Structure 1
Amino acid sequence: MPHKKILFLSIITLLFHLKSNAQSLFIGQDEAAIYDYFHIEKNDDCLTYRSFPLPVGFTQYIDIFKLNGLKSSIDNGAGSNCVKNILDDVCLKRYGKNVPFDMAIGISMNNEVELTKLVDGVYDSKINELADFLKTYPKVKFYLRIGYEFDGQWNKAYNDRRRYIVAFQRIHDLLRVNYEKNKTPKNWVSIWQACTSPIDDIMENKIENLGDWYPGDKYVDFCGLSWFLSGTKISPKYTNSTNINYKRSQRSLANEMIYFANSKNKPAMICEAAPQGYNLSGLYRKNISPFWDGTSGENLVKLTPLQIWNEWYKPFFEFIEKNKQTIKVVAYINQNWDAQPMWALPKSEVYWGDSRIQANDKISQWWTEMISNTWK
């Protein structure tokens, strides 16, 4: 075979390999964050935009009991959310060249009283209403994060593992039956998402078994996780502690979910990711939490763009690359947390920062290079 033909086939094989192992990028997690990523300006007919890597989808949030954020905008202090607004937006359609963006929907059900009612069937009509909405976008793939971050100390309604499992199964079954009854091709997948947070372990002073919340193989399409802290770093406040609960890193907890996903032969999704504690516009980091490194928002440390990249982004992308056979979707939160009442101090009680990629030219450049090389 001629050398040129061998070279051509090798390149095709390599590209196919990269594509088959590529991750899909999602951007969120409110309407403004999505528009800001593109630099969409409505007042200039959407003609101004950044040349950032085009995501495959976006992230929005709804409440399963009222479906707030599904068809109309809702803002609880964390930015406006509306799934319909994003899917119908003319500017986004233009940038996507009329190829529909997919949608990850965080489905909140963190209310003990209402969750018990859901298990008893009180909210079946809302679940069916959600199904009917999803069917109106047959070309969109929906990633449904049902009861996301089930193991987080902040999600009290999910402490009752059995109730959480039954609620997850009920939502899944009603959606499935609704589609089957109408002979509609399925355009959604279910995501079972843990918080995978070392701070959660410290707050609870225990290591939980993820499997205690598992709804079952036939109910879970993707295993999900969150990634907010810096890679292999363990709590700076408890460096000298002998308590094993304080020695866990972001990577070690993320690995637990990857191992679980692999044991079930399920793909994984990083459902929420952002460099918590870092401010990309101001080029500094601050203490995140008394449970992690000290009084929230104190101890400002100035950093260069390269230091921020090496501390948070480098281990993040290395983890994804190492587990590229399992991790298929990555959702990044591109927002100024400090500007939102829910996430700003003192209400939030923890420091979040500013994770907008566009806030720093160097980080923007490295982000673009990283995503453009092998991602789809």
Structure 2
Amino acid sequence: MAKYEPSNGNVIVFIGQEMEALGGLEEFKDGYLDHFKRPAGWTTYTNLTPGENSFGFINKGLDGIWSTADWGDSKSNLSLQLKDQDYENMALAIGLSLVGHTKQIAKGERDTLIIKMGNYLKSLAPRPVFLRIGYEFDGHAWNHYDLKSHKASFRRIKDKLDSLQVTNVAYVWQSTGWVSDQDLLEEWYPGDEYVDWCGYSFFSRWKEQEMIEFARKKGKPVFIAEASPLISDHMTKFDGNTKETILSKPQQAEEAWKKWFVPFFKTINDNPDVVKAISYINCNWKAQKMWKDNPSFKRIDARLQTSKEITNQWKKEIGRSKYIHSSPSLYTDLQANK
């Protein structure tokens, strides 16, 4: 069993990916935590990319951990969430961006940031952390990662955290889910000793994913680390455009349930030996600067709570005994496979 891998076909439920989507805070009171049972974990993001500009926000490195950051995807502040009782007894999944900096990371030029991050994550123990290093490594059109330096960066980050004796982190290697075939996945793979979980994103092109087969071959559990209801049409492969999907509109919600949610849960149910964690992104994509001109996300509002029907169906599915939610024994239960 891999680090923090649940047994008996159980699945850890995460929700992402920013404060507005999650709620449960004084400033943000209409997110997932305000409408649904507390999940087992939540997703946030940070980076090792100082100096990069994202929609007017200039990265300093490790942004969104100790202070509020908004890189075009609404506000993130991990420290605020950790102080709030609504986030107690929850695991943490962190998307760690390396975009444009893998060569510097591989050469040791970001070691100060890595060490600072490692010591911080260590201080969160016994809270489990799932670290998605350089997530969507094969998102070539937007992340532009270099194979050699991405692999070297992934390994360097884990080696550094190991040297700090960080024991509450599981290392997640995440694909887009549709770009790479088995041979390409093998080329990008950092190695069994570096990867605890294999991850992929479940959006519009979920039928094309290759990660479940790859993970099964490697004996690794799968984390569907990003998931939101995007529906393809016959042109999606060519121009990236997806159908308007606003869950507050009943007809669109009905179509989303049939064409996205049903296949999503079927993927989980059909692969109980490997799919062991999921993260649903409960956000209003179309309202955020980062996605306003993005063909895949600019017409998407994936907030579950905006649809009564989706809410009821989600609660029914996610309420099944296989799904792990927050509980006082969560850390102990997950650490059984430390």
User: TM-score, normalized by length of structure 1?
Assistant: 0.73
- Whether the aligned pair in 1 keeps the contact of 2:230 and 2:243 (CA below 8 Å) is no
Q: Which runs of 5+ in 2 are unaligned?
A: 1-5, 50-60, 325-338
Q: Which residue of 1 aligns with 2:56?
A: none
User: SS at 1:121's partner residue?
Assistant: coil
Distance (whole Å) between structure 1 residues aligned to residue 319 and residue 36 of structure 2: 9
Q: CA deviation at 1:302?
A: 7.9
Q: Residues 211 and 45 (structure 1 numbering): CA distance in 2 closer, same or farther, change over 3 Å?
A: closer
Query: Whose helix proportion is higher, 1 or 2?
Result: 1
Distance (whole Å) between structure 1 residues aligned to residue 242 and residue 168 of structure 2: 45
User: SS at 1:358's partner residue?
Assistant: helix
Asked whether 1:251 is paired with 2:207, we answer yes
Q: CA deviation at 1:68?
A: 1.0
Q: Which residue of 2 aligns with 1:14?
A: none
Q: CA deviation at 1:82?
A: 2.0
Q: Which residue of 2 aligns with 1:177?
A: 163
User: TM-score, normalized by length of structure 2?
Assistant: 0.81
User: SS at 1:266's partner residue?
Assistant: coil
Distance (whole Å) between structure 2 residues aligned to residue 44 and residue 295 of structure 1: 28
Asked whether 1:147 is paired with 2:131, we answer no
Q: Which residue of 1 aligns with 2:55?
A: none
Q: Which residue of 2 aligns with 1:196?
A: 177
Q: Which residue of 2 aligns with 1:275?
A: 229
Distance (whole Å) between structure 2 residues aligned to residue 340 and residue 250 of structure 1: 23
Distance (whole Å) between structure 1 residues aligned to residue 250 and residue 35 of structure 2: 28
Distance (whole Å) between structure 1 residues aligned to residue 242 and residue 192 of structure 2: 42
Q: CA deviation at 1:154?
A: 2.7
Which one has a bigger Cα radius of gyration? 1
User: SS at 1:176's partner residue?
Assistant: helix
Distance (whole Å) between structure 2 residues aligned to residue 141 and residue 60 of structure 1: 14
Q: CA deviation at 1:135?
A: 1.5
Q: Residues 49 and 69 (structure 1 numbering): CA distance in 2 closer, same or farther, change over 3 Å?
A: closer
Q: CA deviation at 1:365?
A: 0.2
Q: CA deviation at 1:87?
A: 1.7
User: SS at 1:319's partner residue?
Assistant: helix
Distance (whole Å) between structure 2 residues aligned to residue 136 and residue 196 of structure 1: 32
Moved more, 67-76 or 125-134: 67-76
Query: 1:206-221 counterparts in 2 under 5 A?
Result: 209-221=184-196
Query: 1:303-342 counterparts in 2 under 5 A?
Result: 303=251, 305-342=253-290
Distance (whole Å) between structure 1 residues aligned to residue 254 and residue 174 of structure 2: 31
- Whether the aligned pair in 2 keeps the contact of 1:150 and 1:193 (CA below 8 Å) is yes
Provide the identity percentage.
31
Q: Residues 287 and 355 (structure 1 numbering): CA distance in 2 closer, same or farther, change over 3 Å?
A: farther
Distance (whole Å) between structure 2 residues aligned to residue 137 and residue 74 of structure 1: 20
Distance (whole Å) between structure 2 residues aligned to residue 109 and residue 139 of structure 1: 26
| Letter in structure 1 aligned against 2:200 | L
Asked whether 1:106 is paired with 2:71, we answer no
Q: CA deviation at 1:304?
A: 5.3
Q: Which runs of 5+ in 1 are unaligned?
A: 1-17, 230-248, 278-284
Q: CA deviation at 1:157?
A: 3.8
- Whether the aligned pair in 2 keeps the contact of 1:288 and 1:296 (CA below 8 Å) is no
Q: CA deviation at 1:350?
A: 3.5
Asked whether 1:33 is paired with 2:21, we answer yes
User: Deviations 1:137-160 (Å, cap 9, x if unpaired)?
Assistant: 1121000000000011234441x2
- Whether the aligned pair in 1 keeps the contact of 2:11 and 2:275 (CA below 8 Å) is yes
Q: CA deviation at 1:128?
A: 0.6
The root-mean-square deviation of aligned C-alpha atoms, in Å, is 3.0
Q: CA deviation at 1:268?
A: 0.8
Q: CA deviation at 1:276?
A: 1.9
Asked whether 1:355 is paired with 2:302, we answer yes
Match of 1:128 among 115, 122, 127: 115
Distance (whole Å) between structure 1 residues aligned to residue 303 and residue 114 of structure 2: 34
| Letter in structure 1 aligned against 2:194 | Y
